[in-house]
Amino acid sequence: MKKISIILILSNFAFSQDSSLIDSSINIIEDSKDIKNFNIEKSYNNFEWGYNYELFDIDTTLKNFSSDSTKISYDDYLGNDSKKFNYYFSKEKFWKVDIYYLSTLNLNDIDSLITKFYQIEKILFQKYGPPLRTSQNEIGSNREYNFSDFPKVNRIYYRSSWSLGNINIELVLDNITESSKTSKIFENFKKPISLYYYNLNYYDINSVNSDSTKLFEENLLDNY
């Protein structure tokens, strides 16, 4: 009986030690996740949200670099992917960055686009946790077009959204692909996968210039 009691005591001691180790590891994971979330809530790429346009220090020799008081744009690599980065400013305050995936995608290959979307989504999941909202739709050509000479198109729309404090993150795949490999009719609708980070606290809706252009009805047909 004494031996059994000793074994039980040792087992309970070992279990309590394991439990404390498990609890510690969980805390470490949660702490590290909080740190990552805190970083993106504070800044993107070391540029703090609300940062003044004039204080942005970006290499002007980057490919396709352009800059004005509303946007800074350039092409660069992140891993093996070529991307276009667009930093947006509202009343010269940094509030949004758009990232477009460029060279590694075949914009007329649905499977390639979806696979890439899931790869990016997985990275975001590992860093920020599961998305708050998701939407996935694939729409083929309507049957009215099946027996016509018009190009047959498919539309894919995938979207995953995260919300971290004042920061929203949006991963979007919105594209039209044509079934005919030689067709270029809808080329302007072929969009790369887009990733958005934004902080609406620094967006001033009154900073958008209103469009005062009026199209008079009598000239409508001349403009088509």
pLDDT tens digit sequence for 87-104? 999 999 999 999 998 865
Q: How high is the pLDDT of residue 156?
A: 86
pLDDT tens digit sequence for 3-33? 444 433 434 434 344 433 333 333 333 333 4
Q: What is the DSSP string of the chain?
A: -HHHHHHHHHHHHHHHHHHHHHHHHHHHHHHHHHHHHHHHHHEETTEETT-BGGG----TTSEEEEE-SSEEEEEEEETTEEEEEEEEEETTEEEEEEEEE-TT--TT-HHHHHHHHHHHHHHHHHHH-S-SEEEEEEE---GGGTTSSSPPEEEEEEEEEEEETTEEEEEEEEEEEESSTT--TTGGG----EEEEEEGGG--GGGSPP------GGGTGGG-
**Mean pLDDT over residues 150-156, rounded?**
80
Is the pLDDT at 49 greater than 80? The verdict is yes
Q: Which of 44-58, 105-119, 180-194 bottoms out in mean pLDDT, i.e. has the lowest?
A: 180-194
Q: How high is the pLDDT of residue 121?
A: 96
Task: Indicate whether this model's pTM tops 0.95.
Answer: no
**Mean pLDDT over residues 29-56, rounded?**
74
